[in-house]
Each structure stands twice: as structure tokens, then as C-alpha cells.
Amino acid sequence: MKRVGYFILIGVMLTSCKTVRNITSKDNSSNNMQKDRSNRSIVFIDGIEITPGTIVKSTHKPATTKSKSLNYEVPNHLNSLTNYDIEKASSLQFKYALILDTYVEALNNIKLYLNIDEWWGTSYCLGGNSKTCIDCSAFTSTIIRDIYQINLPRTAAEQFNASLRIEKDSLQEGDLVFFKTKKNYINHVGIFLANDKFVHASTSQGVMISDLREAYWNDKFAGCGRVIN
């Protein structure tokens, strides 16, 4: 009986030693891991390493987007304008800046665009001179008179002869653009605005804005002129 108790006691002692040894082993492993971490930098996804106290620069290039560039250069006299000038712009300026594909700051002649807005969509009729219907030369003479206080002759051909010849690349807001749409003589006229756009009373859609670069108008283009008081 004493022998049985003796063997049980030895067994308990051996088991206790193994347990202590296992605990000690775990503790040492934990200490080693902490030492390891203190000597290594922390690694995140995408291979970006960070060491405490340092500035990290990513090696990945950010995605870039291409913005649409306008076919219009800012005139020198507009370069001095500030964000405040843009903030003061009216909804009318924003509207026509979109139509003309140009800068809001470039549309300073508010009275001109108010007049165009009032006439917009007025039907075309030969010999017409009202907001019921109007023809191209009556429209240009009305706008030039109301905005620039200059009286023009009645027909497109007469307005061509009464204006000063200028080059196409010298066109400015308020200049006249002339076309030969049917026969070999000038029979259509419009008012240049900006970025190759002009306003006119077209036979098909009435008062509207068109582009000199359009195939039809480019083919029919006959010249441009400047009216002076």
C-alpha cells in the first residue's frame, strides 16, 4: 500500500514539472515575439512599410483624369479677374458661357445677352421686324442699334458694304459675319459673340446661336465686318 502511494506521488510530481516547463516555454516565446516586433517595421498591405516617427511616401501613382479643354484663350484683360468676379456672375452669364463654351468672366456685356435672351426662338420671316417674326438683317440692325447705338442699313448686302472689312481671326464681340446661302451674293448676316459662335435669325429655327466651324456655315462664309459709329 505504501508503494502504491509512493508511485502516485512520483507521477504527480512529474506531471507538475511538465506543466511548469510548458508555461515557461510559452512565456519565453511571448518575450521573443515582443523583442522581434521592436526590431521590425510594421508592414501593411500594398507593400507600404511604416516605422514609427517617419513620414511615409507611397510608391503608387494616383489616378489622373483628363479635363476637357476649351478652344478659347483668356484675353489679357481678363487675367486680372479674381474669384470674386466669378461669384458675382449672374445665371444669365453662366447660361451663355455654357452655350458659347467659353469663360463666364468673358461675358461682361449683360445687356447684349439679355437682348439675345428676349429674342431667342423668335420665328423667321422675310421682311419681319418684330418678336412675332423677324429676318436676319432686321435682327442684326435691332441688336446693334439697341446695344451699340449704331444704325445699320436694312439688308445684309447693305450692312456688308457699310462695315469695315476685318480678318476672321480678328473677330470680336459685336462684329458682323456674312454668308452667301443661296446665290453668289450676300444674303445672310449674324452677330459674332465668342469662340466662333454667332447669333442670328436662321430661316429654319429662328433666332439662335450657331458655330462658324460647322460645315454648312464654314462653306457659306463670305466675310466679316466691324461697324463703327
Catalogue the active-site residues. 136, 188, 200
| Residue entry with cell 466691324 | 226
- Structural contact between residues 136 and 179, judged by C-beta atoms closer than 8 angstroms: no
Q: What is the CA radius of gyration of the chain?
A: 41
- Structural contact between residues 174 and 168, judged by C-beta atoms closer than 8 angstroms: no
Cell of 137: 438683317
Cell of 196: 466662333
